[in-house]
Amino acid sequence: MSDAPLSEARPPLPPFTAETAAQKVRAAENGWNGCNPEKVSLAYTVDSRWRNRNVFFSGRPAIVDFLQVKWAREHEYRLIKELWTFTGNRIAVRFAYEFHDDAGDWFRAYGNENWEFDANGLMQVRHASINDLAIDAVERKFHWDRTGPRPDAHPSLSDLGL
């Protein structure tokens, strides 16, 4: 994988500690909750390789295309990520997100991701396994203003029993 110029560095940088891995996870969560495909793509190497469910692709343009389609159909998207484990330049997370489709039907998606970073802190590999569960609107657990990140006081996945 290519190394990004230092101007593209995304601290914290590997090798990760428990503290810096947790910071990286929260930064990723905040970025994805912004639902801005172009901005999110900048956290990845120009040739980043992805597996998302059963879809495989690579490169920032493909990331942007994928996220544009995703967020065009997943309305009121709210995501929580939680650090599972880390070592060196790798981080594993578990996550859940809630959204509704065009028909107004609500879902909670559960998943795990394995991340690998380059020396500049850009993600060069992302493997995501995800399962969707239909939920009633009253079963939603993620409640915060969509215009900003998840508030620090909002419960984590563990706090919510997820």
Q: Is residue 7 part of a domain?
A: no
Scan for tokens 């070592």, then name that residue.
87
d(CA 102, CA 138): 18
Q: Is residue 157 part of a domain?
A: no
Q: Is residue 161 part of a domain?
A: no
Tens digit of each residue's pLDDT (9 = 90 or more) over 27-53: 999 999 999 999 999 999 999 999 999
Q: Is residue 149 part of a domain?
A: no
Alpha helices for the chain (secondary structure H): 18-33, 37-41, 60-73
- Domain interval for residue 89: 13-137
Which CATH number is 38's domain given?
Answer: 3.10.450.50
Q: Number of folded domains in the chain?
A: 1
Rg of the chain in Å (alpha carbons): 15
- Give this prediction's pTM: 0.94
**pLDDT value, residue 2:** 47
Q: Is residue 147 part of a domain?
A: no
Q: Is residue 71 part of a domain?
A: yes
Tens digit of each residue's pLDDT (9 = 90 or more) over 92-151: 999 999 999 999 999 999 999 999 999 999 999 999 999 999 999 999 999 999 888 999
Q: Is residue 148 part of a domain?
A: no
